[in-house]
Structure 1
Amino acid sequence: MDDSDMRTEDLIKALDADARDKAMPLGKAWWLAVGVAVAIAAVVFFATIGPRPDIMPAMHTMRFMSKFVFTLVLAASAFALIRALSVPGASTGRRMAWMLAAPLLVVLAVVLELFVVPEADWGKRLIGSNMMICMSFIPLIGIGPLAVFLGMLRYGAPTRPVLAGAVAGLLAGGLAATFYAAHCFDDSPLFVATWYTVAIAFLTLLGAIGGRLFVRW
């Protein structure tokens, strides 16, 4: 091992020790951050658009509930990954693989939708009726949680700040999309796969930029 490798390893160990020596353990701090982020998202959601009026009967339909499966799986897998990324030297391979779960679920739902919906209706299902609202309110609901998660990354010591910031955006996007799904009248997987993805991708880009600018060591 040459001197540069030794210096890098020593730096990672020092960062790891610093992350573990915080006033609050990093693992507990992340759970607190998620609680704060959920509270912020809830305030924005209920102060602006709120749930759809027919949410109770909608909850008995598979299309409506499938939206939450996608958003919650995305949020859960991003949370597991970002916790690992905030600790230098932590293993991330398996957690990275779990990030494929939400996209695969959406692809499966889209394929099933294409089988059961007439081809003439595909375009209508994809465009929906709330495209602009979706692309506006998911980022609006998620921007506060994203700021919380970027702050948590500074509390830790990520060695890949751009990646960590992008995952923070995915986590904020999954959380925001979960709230927005309770308002959204477009339940088609075609709509979710397209416009939810665009809105979450915007938060992911913001997170990556935030990681590059604010989460550095």
Structure 2
Amino acid sequence: MKTEQLINALVADIGPRRSFLRSFVYATASGVAFDAVVFFAAIGPRPDIAAAAETWRFLFKFVVTLALAVPATTLAYRLAAPAMWRRCRFEVLMVPLCLLLAATAFELDLVPPSLWMVRLVGSNSVNCMTLIPVLALAPLTCFLILLRSGASCDPGLTGAVAGLAAGAIAATFYALNCFDDSPLFVITWYPIAMSTTAAGGYYGGRRFLTW
């Protein structure tokens, strides 16, 4: 192959990838924007959010959810094309878990044992289990629609990671409303709620991303 032909082939190969990346960014932004509209119109932040924002427990919830949302969304994008699988680093998904485990250990040291179960159960577990999956529907739908134009080697895994990303995005919004800021609550109920969205993404991927 001549040099000019090689260059033309590389340019032709880069074009669609850039186009797919742009579309993926738009899909992500659309899902986040839809969630923002639904959240602020129908749910809203907690009344004492100004005071809560001065505490490390409240702010830490967003550190955890964003530390999961960003890498999970990136992984979902890379899983959509076989050529990018080698760039997937699934170990980054362990970062928020490690952060949560460290914060939980710190919480157990700060709080008397008599309050451990109280902090773990909290007062919003039902809302957590309900609102996170509901808010995850929009971004997950946007992800699945866009990922159909990809060529995932493992549709189920791709869908599950997209579901995890959608759940983390939803959890970020829900954290604005949630009154339970203890890491004991977060490490218990948030992962359960997000595992629901990951399971939904898995089955959605098997159903819609298979080619």
Structure 2: stretches of 5+ with no match in the other structure:
1-11
Q: Identify the range of structure 1 (202-211 vs 39-48) with the bigger mean alpha-carbon deviation.
A: 39-48
Q: Could you tell me the TM-score, scaled by structure 1's length?
A: 0.88
Partner in structure 2 of residue 136 of structure 1:
130
Q: Identify the range of structure 1 (129-138 vs 37-46) with the bigger mean alpha-carbon deviation.
A: 37-46
Task: Give secondary structure in 1 for the equivalent of 2:148.
Answer: helix
**Could you tell me how far apart the structure 1 residues matched to 2:38 and 2:129 are?**
15
Contact 1:33-1:148 within 8 A present in 2 as well: yes
Q: Identify the range of structure 1 (90-99 vs 24-33) with the bigger mean alpha-carbon deviation.
A: 90-99
**1:46-65 Cα deviation digits (max 9, x unpaired):** 22211001111111100000
2:154 pairs with 1:160: yes
Taking only aligned residues, the RMSD between alpha carbons, in angstroms, comes to: 1.9
Partner in structure 2 of residue 71 of structure 1:
65
Q: Could you tell me the TM-score, scaled by structure 2's length?
A: 0.90
Work out the number of aligned pairs and report it: 201
Partner in structure 2 of residue 115 of structure 1:
109
Residues 23/96 of structure 1: CA separation in 2 closer, same or farther (3 Å cut): closer
Q: How does 1:133-212 map to 2 (within 5 A)?
A: 133-212=127-206
**Could you tell me how far apart the structure 1 residues matched to 2:86 and 2:171 are?**
25
Shift of 1:91: 3.4
**Could you tell me how far apart the structure 2 residues matched to 1:19 and 1:176 are?**
34
Partner in structure 2 of residue 55 of structure 1:
49
Q: Identify the range of structure 1 (39-48 vs 178-187) with the bigger mean alpha-carbon deviation.
A: 39-48
Task: Give secondary structure in 2 for the equivalent of 1:99.
Answer: helix
Contact 2:78-2:87 within 8 A present in 1 as well: no
Shift of 1:89: 2.7
Residues 70/92 of structure 1: CA separation in 2 closer, same or farther (3 Å cut): farther
Contact 1:20-1:26 within 8 A present in 2 as well: no
Partner in structure 1 of residue 85 of structure 2:
91
Contact 1:19-1:26 within 8 A present in 2 as well: no
**Could you tell me how far apart the structure 2 residues matched to 1:99 and 1:169 are?**
13
Task: Give secondary structure in 2 for the equivalent of 1:91.
Answer: helix
**Could you tell me how far apart the structure 2 residues matched to 1:92 and 1:107 are?**
29
Partner in structure 2 of residue 33 of structure 1:
27
**Could you tell me how far apart the structure 1 residues matched to 2:13 and 2:137 are?**
25
**Could you tell me how far apart the structure 2 residues matched to 1:191 and 1:175 are?**
18
